Amino acid sequence: MNFGERLRRDFSTVTLVLIPVAIAINVVIGQIVALLKLPVYLDSIGTVLVAILAGPWAGALTGTLSNIIWGITIDPNALPWFPVALLIGLTAGICANYGWFKTWWGVLLSGVIIAFVAAIASAFINVALYGGITASGSSFLTAYLLASGRGLIESVLATNFIFEPIDKIATCFLAWAVVKGLSSRYVARFPRAENVLAAPATSATYARR
């Protein structure tokens, strides 16, 4: 199967129905966390959910649209972070393709890898647009490190590498819990069902889509 065929399969009808729901999950939970000034984000649960069930490109699209819609309709501060959301969806989908969302330790490993990618990507945006201090609750640590004489990039990266793993591991486990709560028959309707089912989906399963 070539890339175009795989992409068309990933963006099946059931995927296109799931994406708006996932975007709503991202925006609602992300906005609540932002208002509470918590040192985590939890705004990628829907993105990871789509990435698990429909692949990296569907996950990337979900993350991108989430931040764009969130930024345009509710909080403009969410808009500049869409490249990070895109990378989160892409990385989560790649991890899922390796079968890492079939076991708890795989979910943990996925969270760590996604956190590393997000920490690096978000540091560039943070420094370039916000000078290291954003509306996130984690910025208190960045401010403390800056006040103690640390450099800007060092302070931002240190903060990211502390809080991103907590956030992304929690996000991956929450998305995984949602998937595990679904029936195997329903999960089998998604293009990447083999990412989470004990046995790969059969051709008969695909034929029923």
- How does DSSP assign 114-136, residue by residue? HHHHHHHHHHHHIIIIITT--SS
184 membership: H or E segment, kind and range:
helix 184-187
Domain count, the chain: 1
Of residues 36, 52, 20, 32, the one with CA closest to residue 197: 52
- Max CA distance (Å), the chain: 62
> How is residue 193 annotated by DSSP?
G
What is the structure's pLDDT at 37? Answer: 86
pLDDT, tens digit only, all 209 positions of the chain: 788 899 999 999 999 999 999 999 999 999 999 999 888 899 999 999 999 999 999 999 999 999 999 999 999 999 999 999 999 999 999 999 999 999 999 999 999 999 999 999 999 999 999 888 887 878 888 898 989 999 999 999 999 999 999 999 999 999 999 999 999 999 999 999 999 997 544 444 443 44
User: Given the structure tokens 């890898």, which residue do they identify?
Assistant: 113
Q: C-alpha dihedral over 184, 111, 16, 187, to 10 degrees?
A: 0
Give the end-to-end CA distance of the chain in Å, rounded to a whole number.
17
Domain of residue 31, CATH code: 1.10.1760.20
CA distance 119 to 122: 5
CA distance 5 to 86: 21
User: Given the structure tokens 């420094």, which residue do they identify?
Assistant: 127
> Domain range holding 202?
3-207
What is the structure's pLDDT at 208? Answer: 40
C-alpha dist (Å) from residue 179 to 36, 171, 190? 27, 12, 11
C-alpha dist (Å) from residue 5 to 10, 46, 59? 9, 24, 17
Structure tokens at 78: 């969410």
Compute CA 108 distance to the chain's CA centroid, rounded to the nearest angstrom.
Answer: 14
DSSP H helix total and E strand total for the chain: 10, 0
Reported pTM: 0.91
